[in-house]
A and B are shown apart, each in its own frame.
Chain A
Amino acid sequence: EVQLSESGGGLVQPGGSLRLSCEASGFMFANYAMSWVRQAPGKGLEWVSVGFGSGTSSSALYADSVKGRFTVSRDNSKNTLYLQMDRLRAEDTAIYYCAKNHCSGGTCYIFDNWGQGTLVTVSS
């Protein structure tokens, strides 16, 4: 059974930093792209980032709203996905979900399993 468990959320001041973690189990983590999706209170879903294979930098894509401030990385030896969030803004307040990417029909941007999410609140 696929399980995803996020942690690291909390209250942070504007301009601050936070690192989220997503621990995965039940599948070959290294073989799958993994994504972060967020949901502001009372709002819809917003894709944040996807991390491919291993490492950081070129192995990732980002939404325009977080590009240059957020960095996704992964440690395949620990089956863990990370999201380093810097220069946080009030509008980054949201529940952050990690999700496993599924490939079908030539696309790999299908989210077939989700964690329960971790709440990030950016406020002074």
Chain B
Amino acid sequence: SYVLTQPPSVSLAPGQTTSLTCGGNNIGSKYVHWYQQKPGQAPVLVVYTNSDRPSGVPERFSGSNSGNTATLTISRVEAGDEADYYCQVWDTDSGHVVFGGGTKLTVL
């Protein structure tokens, strides 16, 4: 089955820029979607089809996907961005939705 790999945690100071990665075999051939989940809350879609943003999501959130790595970039990180971030794809071979293990973003 298809596996998505995310680093467990990332920490940075407010105002910095971070790139959260999501690794998978030839993930560049798939559409990748990203979700933000704050403690005690349901996930929220922040980027879909690699680089599109739903309405209401700040332009500070951007995505890219190539080769074996997809990336969610958060510019000028704010305290309110502290959350778990999950990447997700549709695996056509298995006919399953696959989530990455998630990255916990801590804003120092």
Chain A residues near B (Cβ < 8 Å): 35, 37, 44-47, 50, 61, 63-64, 97, 102, 104-107, 109-112, 114-117
Contacts and interface: CB of A to CB of B under 8 A. Distances in A.
A114 B99 contact: no
Contacts of B37: 45
Contacts of A111: 33, 35, 43, 45, 88
Interface stretch (B21-29, B48-56, B68-76): B48-56
Contacts of A116: 41-42
A107 B86 CA distance: 18
Given A45-B35, A61-B96, A97-B43, 7 more contacts: A44-B101, A47-B98, A102-B45, A104-B52, A109-B90, A110-B31, A116-B42
Contacts of B12: none
User: Which size bracket describes the interface of B in this complex?
Assistant: 20 to 34
A76 B41 CA distance: 27
Interface string B1-28: 1000000000000000000000000000
13 contacts: A44-B101, A45-B37, A45-B88, A45-B99, A46-B99, A47-B98, A61-B95, A104-B49, A107-B49, A111-B33, A111-B88, A112-B48, A114-B42
Nearest to B101: A44
Contacts, number: 65
Contacts of A97: 42-43
Contacts of A63: 96-97
B49 A110 contact: yes
Contacts of A107: 31, 49, 90
A111 B84 CA distance: 16
Nearest to B89: A109
B44 interface: yes
B96 A110 contact: no
